[in-house]
Structure 1
Amino acid sequence: MEAAPIMRKSFSERQASPGIEGLNLSAFEEPMAPETELQDFQIFAATWNVGGKTPNNCLNLEDFLQVEDSPDIYVLGFQEIVPLSAGNVLVIEDNEPAAKWLTLISQALNKPQHDSIFSSDLGPGSKISNNVLKDSKSPSSTLHFFQKPSHKALSRNLRADSSVLKSCNCPVDLHSRESRRRLRKLSDLPNNFYSESSHIGRYSIVDEFLSTAEMPSSPTSPSQMSYCLVASKQMVGIFLSVWARKELVPHIGHLRVSTVGRGIMGCLRNKGCIAMSMSLHQTSFCFVCSHLASGEKEGDELKRNADVAEILKSTQFPKICKNPATNRAPERIVDHDRIIWLGDLNYRVALSYEETRVFLEDNDWDTLLEKDQLNIEREAGRVFSGFNEGQILFAPTYKYSHNSDSYEGETIKSKKKRRTPAWCDRILWRGDGIDQLSYIRGESRLSDHRPVCAVFSVEVEESNKNNSFRKGYSCAGRRLDFEDCMPKRHSLYEF
C-alpha cells in the first residue's frame, strides 16, 4: 500500500495555524546581548635593578609610581634587592629589604598619614610607639617594634583587605541543592576560620560566597587603603609585587606563582624569573619579572636567549579546578590572554665602548638601538617570539657611577671594570587588547641602573550582567557542581 504523501504547509498557512496561536514571537525579535563586554583598565609596570642597595627611610616613590595618574594595577619588579653573595644564594635569602620596599610602595600608593614604620626613633615618645601601645594586642602591631620586619608578615598585613580575592572564579551553579547546603555551612564559620595555618587559606573559593561585611576586620584599617597588595614573591634578589585597586580585588582570581632558577650551573636562583598568573574578570594575565645572564662578550646574548627559552619551557602554574572541563586557568606563560614581561634582561649593545660613546655624545640613540642585541635577536626570531616592545626614547639605563649621572666608563680608567652603556632594563608585552601609553625611564641615582616604567591600556572581558536568558530559550549545557571548582588543598595566602 502506498504511503500517504506528507503535506507541507506554506509559511502563511503555518502562521495562521491554530497550533501556534498565542505563541509570542516578540521575545525572539531582539538579539541576545553578548555574554561578555570589554572594559579598559590601566596597568603600570616597572622594572628596577637596585644593585643590592637598600632604600633609605625617606625615599618617596610617588613620582616613580606616577600615583597622580591612578592606574588600576601596579606590577613592580626588582632585581638585586639584596647583594648576590654566596650567603644569599646558597644559604638563606635576606627578605628584610623586600619588606622595606613593600612598605615604601604602600606608603606611596596609599599616602598614609603616619611616619614610616622603619623610623629609627621608636622611643616611648614617638607617635608610632604610642599607637602600638594603645593596641598592643593587634597581631600586626608587633611589626612596629622592629626596624627589620618579616617580609611574609608584612605581606599578610598589607593584604589584609584582600580577603575576597578568589582562588578560583570558574562558573559555579549556585542554585543546586548541594551548593545551597554548602553555603549554609559556610555562613556558620567562625571569624577565626581564616587562620594562617588553614589549608584553604584566605584566598579560596570560600571567599566567593562571603560578603566583605562577613570577613574579619583588619586592625590596620584597610578600609582607608586605595590599593591592596595582591601578591608578592622574592627569589634571592628578584622581587615581584602586584597591587590593585581595592574595588578590583573581588574580581581577581586564579592567583598562582611559579619560579625558575637560571643562575650558577643553570639552576641556582641568583638569576631566573618569578612569574605570577591571575585573572581579572574573564581575562587571564601573566606578569614575569626576570634577571637574565650577564656579560658583554660576544656570544653572551645566546645565554640570555637560552634563559628565556628555559623560562618559557619550565614555568608551570598549578591547576586549581578539579574538573579540567571547567578549568579556565592557563598553565603556561604563553597560554595567557595578556602577558607583561619585565626585568634586567641584560642585552647589551654590539659595539665597542669607544664607538658607543661617540653615538651617545651625539644623542644618536637610533643608531645604537640598531646594534641593540635584544632588537637584533628578536628580529631574527631567536627570542621573544610574538612579543612587542614600545619605541625607546630614552638613554641607556646601565651602567652609571655611584650616585651620579655619569656612565661608569667616564670615571673609571680600568678597561676591565668599564662597562659599555646599554638598555639592559626592558618591558615587553604579548597579547591582543594591549596598547602601550608610555615607555620612560626614571632618574633615581640609587643604583647603577635607572628604573624603567610603562603604562598600558588593556581590554578585559567582563561578564555581561544583563545577559539573562529570556523565556523561550533553553540551555542544555551541563550543570556544574560545587566540587568541580573546589581548589586543591594548598594555600594561596602567601608565596
Structure 2
Amino acid sequence: MEGSSSISLKRTYRLFVSTWNVGGLLPSDDAELEEWLDIKNGHYDIYILGFQEVVPLNARNVLGPKNRRVLERWSSLIRKSLNKLPSSKLHEGKQKVHPMKEEEEGKEGGHAQEFECVESKQMVGILVSVWARSDLRRCISHRCIACVGCGVMGCLGNKGSVSIRFLLHETSFCFACCHFASGGKEGDEVKRNTNAMEILSRTTFPSSPPPPLDLPQKITDHDRVFLFGDLNYRISLPNASTRSLMEQNRWSILLQKDQLRMEVSKGKLFEDWQEGAITFFPTYKYYLNSDKYYGCVPTQESGKSRAPAWCDRILWRGEGINQERYDRCELRLSDHRPVRGIFVVDVDVPKSSS
C-alpha cells in the first residue's frame, strides 16, 4: 500500500503492543491497568492489546456461545485507564493531524474521550483490542478481522489467532494475536511451529475493493506486521537445570536454549521476522498473586511440573519499524506476566493530509 499516492510524506507514530495470558480470570470492576498501559509515561498514538485465555478453555467455552460480558469488562477497564491520561500530556510533543469531530461528548464527566476503540474481537479465549487517539480515528480505514482456529481437531478456537488489519493513512498494518499449543515435552515445539505456519497460511482477509486500492489479503503482505501472544515456546533443558541456571542468573545460557530462538535459527519458521533483545525474567509460570515461580514452593506442588519459560513474545516484520522498548509488567492476576513492546513506525501520509 505504501507509495500508492503520487505525493506522500513520512510521519512517525508510537505504538504500544502488548500480550497477556490472563489464565481464564476476569479482573474486578475496579481493577487498575495504568501500570501495564504505562499511563504515567505514555505518549502513544495507538494501543494494540492482545489477550489469551480471557475465559477458561473448557468445553462449554470452546463449543458454546461467546460470553460478551468478558469483552465488555476488558473494554470498560481499558477505556477507563487510557482516558485517565491528561489531554495536555497526551498531545505533548506530537505531530498533529487534522482533528475529527469528537463522537462521544458528555461522557467521563462531560469531557470528550481522548482514546477510542478502533476494533475489538474475541474468539474463545483470544481477544485483541485496538485503541487510538480520537483525532487519529479518521486516518484509520479499511479495518478487517480474520480468525483462525488451530485447537481441538485442528480447527477449534481454544488455540489459534485473531488478526486485525487496517490502513493508517496509506500504510497497511496487520496485528496477529496468537495462542499456540502448550506442552513441555520434547517435540511439543513442532506443534507450535505448525500453529505458526497454519496461522500465516490460513489467515486471509476479504478481497480488495475496486482499483486503484489494492489491499493485502495475507498477513505478511502488509507493510507493517506484528505477531504476538502466548507462543508457548519453552526452554529445552531439564526442569532442574533450568531452575538451577535461573538461581545463578545465567540468562545467556537459558536464552540459547529458548525453543523459539532455536527453531528460528534452524530456519524452521519466522524467516525475516525480528524480536527485540530479551532482558526480562521468564514470564511463565507463576503462582497466582505471587512473585514465585511454580514448583519452588514445596507446600504448593501439584502433579504437573512446569519450568519457567519466555512463553509470551512480540515479533515484527517490515521496514520503518523501530523498537524502543521490550519488557514485562509485574501484574499478578494470572500465572503469566504481561509483555510489552514500544515501537516507532513510519507511515506514508498524503501531502494533502499533512
The two structures share one fold, judged by TM-score above 0.5: yes
- Name the one with the larger strand percent: 2
TM-score by length of structure 2 reads 0.90
Residue 93 (structure 1) aligned to one of 57, 66, 79:
66
| Pair 1:34–1:320, CA change in 2 (3 A) | closer
Q: CA deviation at 1:85?
A: 1.1
| Pair 1:318–1:51, CA change in 2 (3 A) | same
| Pair 1:401–1:216, CA change in 2 (3 A) | closer
Structure 1 distance, partners of 2:297, 2:269, is: 34
User: Is residue 247 from structure 1 mapped to residue 220 from structure 2 by the alignment?
Assistant: no
**Partner in structure 2 of residue 348 of structure 1:** 234
Residue 52 (structure 1) aligned to one of 11, 17, 24:
24
Report matched runs for 1:317-466 at 5 Å: 317-321=205-209, 323=210, 325-412=211-298, 416-465=303-352
**Partner in structure 1 of residue 154 of structure 2:** 266
RMSD: 2.2
Check whether the contact 1:87–1:93 (CA below 8 A) recurs between aligned residues. Answer: no
Structure 1 distance, partners of 2:8, 2:293, is: 51
Q: CA deviation at 1:415?
A: 7.2
Check whether the contact 2:323–2:343 (CA below 8 A) recurs between aligned residues. Answer: yes
Check whether the contact 1:54–1:97 (CA below 8 A) recurs between aligned residues. Answer: yes
- Please list every run of 5 or more consecutive structure 1 residues that lacks an aligned counterpart in the other structure: 1-32, 114-210, 468-495
Q: CA deviation at 1:366?
A: 1.1
**Partner in structure 1 of residue 202 of structure 2:** 314
Aligned AA (1:378): V
Aligned AA (1:245): R
The number of aligned residues is 335
Aligned AA (1:259): C
Q: CA deviation at 1:403?
A: 1.2
Residue 102 (structure 1) aligned to one of 50, 75, 98:
75
| Pair 1:464–1:90, CA change in 2 (3 A) | same
Structure 1 distance, partners of 2:69, 2:269, is: 35
Q: CA deviation at 1:223?
A: 5.9
| Pair 1:250–1:466, CA change in 2 (3 A) | closer
Identical aligned pairs, as a percentage?
46
| Pair 1:50–1:216, CA change in 2 (3 A) | closer
Q: CA deviation at 1:95?
A: 2.5
Q: CA deviation at 1:328?
A: 2.6
Structure 2 distance, partners of 1:234, 1:218, is: 28
Secondary structure in 1 matching 2:305 = coil
Check whether the contact 2:104–2:113 (CA below 8 A) recurs between aligned residues. Answer: no
- Deviation by residue 1:328-351 (Cα, 9 ceiling, x = unmatched): 311100000001111000000000
Aligned AA (2:255): L
**Partner in structure 2 of residue 15 of structure 1:** none
Structure 2 distance, partners of 1:282, 1:466, is: 11
**Partner in structure 1 of residue 34 of structure 2:** 62
| Pair 1:43–1:217, CA change in 2 (3 A) | closer
Check whether the contact 2:283–2:312 (CA below 8 A) recurs between aligned residues. Answer: yes
User: Is residue 277 from structure 1 mapped to residue 165 from structure 2 by the alignment?
Assistant: yes
Structure 2 distance, partners of 1:452, 1:349, is: 18
Aligned AA (2:147): T
Query: Max radius of gyration: which structure?
Result: 1
- Please list every run of 5 or more consecutive structure 2 residues that lacks an aligned counterpart in the other structure: 87-98
TM-score by length of structure 1 reads 0.65
| Pair 1:359–1:337, CA change in 2 (3 A) | same
